[in-house]
Structure 1
Amino acid sequence: MDLDAFVAEHQGEWRRLEQLSRRRRLNAREVDELVVLYQRAATHLSAVRTRMPDPSLQARLTRLVLTARGAVTGSEGFSWRSVQRFFVRDFPLVVYQARAWWIGSAVVSLLLAAVMGTLVVADPDIAAAFFDEKQIDQIVHQDFEGYYSEFFAPNFAASLWTHNAWLAAQCFAGGVLLLPVLYLLFTNAMNLGVMGGLMIGHGRADAFFGLITPHGLLELTSLFIAAGLGLRIGFAWIAPGPELSRGRAVARAARTGMVGALGLFAAFFVSALLEAFLTPSPMPYLLKDSLGAIVWLAFLAYVWTLGRRAQRLGLTGDIEN
């Protein structure tokens, strides 16, 4: 087969196929023409590959066939409707379905933090096991409060966002093993308890709760949700239920968990903005805490209301359904 003659013979068809593939709207006659030309171009590509391999022509026809295939089969692409569906239906449904896991994680973690804080307040020797007297004085009177205003706010927000998103990713990735998530929850509870015990024990309870509450309500809740989604993956391996195999149960929990993890990036973004801009602001503690509580309650209402409604509609949150 002569390559030049082959190209000259079919050049017009390829050019027409390229034109039709790029159009957003086609009438019925043009759609039929597109399908016919696409089938011919696919045949031409096969012939070139087997009978006269030419890298340049193969690349051209491959690109043309792929473009035409997309035009024939259609592609969903980006859609604001998909974004809306994700935040109105998919994300709140997944979080609502996993409520027992993240509420349980929150209760246990906060109880551990409260016990640790109480012990630190009651026995100064416990705090001495972590810090010396100079470090404790530095934390109580300077570092704890100064941490929130030490850095340029936009950079601080970006750092907090990526840090918390990384923690959520660790919870999700380590969920099937259970222990990494439990360890993360334990260390977070211990850190919170020690810091709270130090501040409260030295008469700085107002500063501790005044600075933790504006962002901490949403931030900790989001972390507990991430942990709950991860633990649910691990439990799906242990107890898959009567209807699914272990592999399928873990896969389904992982798919729905991924939906939750993606949505949490937005929640962590909001909490990072609160921590970088609201927490260090000169507003009174009561006002800052009230604003943080309003954002937190709005998030819970959003998850509970839309998630319960989606569940009543029979939706599953599984992206394969």
Structure 2
Amino acid sequence: MKISYIFKKIKNMRYKEYVNHAKIVADKMNKSTLSILFDMAKCALLYGSGYMDYFEFEFYLLNGKERKTYLTGKYNNDIVKRYNRKEDWHLLEDKGEFNKLFKEYLGREFLDLRDASFKEFKEFIYNKEKIVCKPLDNCGGKGIEIIPIDKSIFKNEYNVLKLYNSIMKKEQFLLEEVIIQNKELSKLYSGSVNTLRVITFLDNTGTTRILNTILRIGNNGNVDNFSSGGMYTFVNESGIVYVPAIDEVGRIYYEHPKTHEKIVGFKVPDFDKVFSFVDKLSKRVPTIRYVGWDIVITENNICVIEGNEYPGVFQVKPSISGIKTGDLPKFKKYMDL
């Protein structure tokens, strides 16, 4: 483990959260907080795991041999640095640039206010009931707002200008048409668009490898992001959810708390079309080889929401699967780690 990585983690550590998570584990395992803090520090040193890796992947239930099989934040950082050329990150990071580059796969209209006039703004919103307003560099769904369009504002251009200035002030420079998801996904939760995060790697032969497929489901909000109150679960090669969902604080859901729809056993509609879709996406920017694609299934199509050059780490909790082997061996099949 590189000492520089350890020092960087220490510098950026949120100590209060670190200790709070240690207390949660200590109570669960009937151990002292100090012993858990020591074990968390040991795992950071030996396996490059952050406190959320330790907590989310339940390292406290694993022995050393099992812990070695888990993809941790350190490994994820290394993959991004090695396989995603930093000079090209902006093509995915900047949501406006991304939409222009992947326009044929969006399945929705959009407008980048950085290079659009007020007249173009007015024309864009005129025939829409709602618009999605996004910051160009949003992360975790932060700053996204869905704004209803009251047709009465067009009677007085001042009201349209007022809306325009409000959006510009909040730097929500990317406007998009609202996506209507497949009815089966709405049954799970209709308050947000429930997306798939498909993590791909473009290997040395130019072949797209799907490393993981995650179904993200909203809960009490209009976005499905984990960090914004949502939950996630895992989808197998047949498009079926095979484990319950979890949220950011570790709660487990066998059914959705709002709709009471069963999560385990849910079949993602049109899943057989997903691979060919992400295969096209992964080859559009071949210098960014490791990507988490957020896609949505509609009634008639598959649409890409965004691509993440820093995909994040998703692995099934040992306590809900009974499996104590992480994803690192799978990643090593295709990557030099």
- TM-score interval, normalised by the smaller of the two chains: under 0.3
Larger Rg: 1
Higher normalized helix content (fraction of residues)? 1
Q: What is the TM-score of this pair, normalised by structure 1? A: 0.24
Higher normalized strand content (fraction of residues)? 2
